[in-house]
Structure 1
Amino acid sequence: MHELSICMSLLDQVERIAKEHRAERVERILLRIGPLSGVEAPLLMNAYPLAAAGTIAEHAQLDIEPAPVRVQCLDCSAETEATPNRLLCASCGSYHTKLISGDEMLLASLEMSLPEDASETL
């Protein structure tokens, strides 16, 4: 299950950010995942508790929001939304498009508990 290794990499990044901010605990992790990323959100949710055990984010809420598939038309230059299985320009119908989003997995935000003295210096 490659979602477990993805969770472990995600938690490495989360722990680095939390350490930079001297966080006591991570409360919430928000990911943005596109349908063309190759990551299955339900499998990621199932793998998260295993990967997070014993980390600063062990009790964090993991939220996943879908990222839209967007293309840029090489014929009319329009940027439009598309469906994952039909990367057509919604403006002119051309199939000459370039994918501009929908294949990403992005750490969108973190909510952390900071010590009282750290919040004054940030």
Structure 2
Amino acid sequence: MHETALVRNLVQRVEKLCADEQAQRVVEVAVWLGALCHMSPEHFTDHFRQEAAGTCADQAQLRIETSDDINHPNAQDVLLRSLDVETEDEASP
């Protein structure tokens, strides 16, 4: 349940950023997984795909960095590192 809430929150932030940028879709999402967030990259990907279905991030590529530092201040978190979006101008031929 904790994992679902973390990923749901991240997808909501991605949707807001997408709307703020008036983007058509998210091309790539780069995230950092803390050592104590209890998710492997595969597990995160599964949760992300489920939560992003039907959103602007539905088909986004994922770039996932993992940490093994259990003493990092964000060791329990999933952090959004960067977001690459496509705007209407970029989508037009």
| Shorter-chain TM-score above 0.5 | yes
Residue 65 (str. 1) matches residue 38 (str. 2): no
User: Which string of whole-angstrom CA distances, capped at 9 and with x for unpartnered residues, describes residues 52-110 of structure 1?
Assistant: 111010000122111352xxxxxxxxxxxxxx4xxxxxxxxxxxxxx344603210000
The code of the aligned residue for 2:32 comes to R
> Per the alignment, do residues 19 and 60 of structure 1 end up closer, same or farther by CA in structure 2, a change over 3 Å counting?
same
Distance 2:56 2:74 in 1: 29
- In structure 2, the gaps of 5 or more residues are none
Distance 1:58 1:18 in 2: 12
More helix, by proportion = 2
Alignment of 1:37-116 (within 5 A): 37-69=37-69, 84=70, 99-101=71-73, 103=75, 104-116=77-89
Residue 28 (str. 1) matches residue 1 (str. 2): no
Indicate the SS of the match to 2:28. Answer: strand
Percent identity at matched positions?
28
Count the aligned residue pairs.
Answer: 89
Distance 1:17 1:108 in 2: 13
The code of the aligned residue for 1:13 comes to R
Structure showing greater relative contact order (alpha-carbon pairs closer than 8 Å, 6 or more residues apart): 2
How far apart are residue 5 of structure 1 and its match? 2.7
How far apart are residue 4 of structure 1 and its match? 2.6
TM-score by length of 1: 0.62
Which has more radius of gyration? 1
- In structure 1, the gaps of 5 or more residues are 70-83, 85-98, 118-122
Match of 2:10 in 1: 10
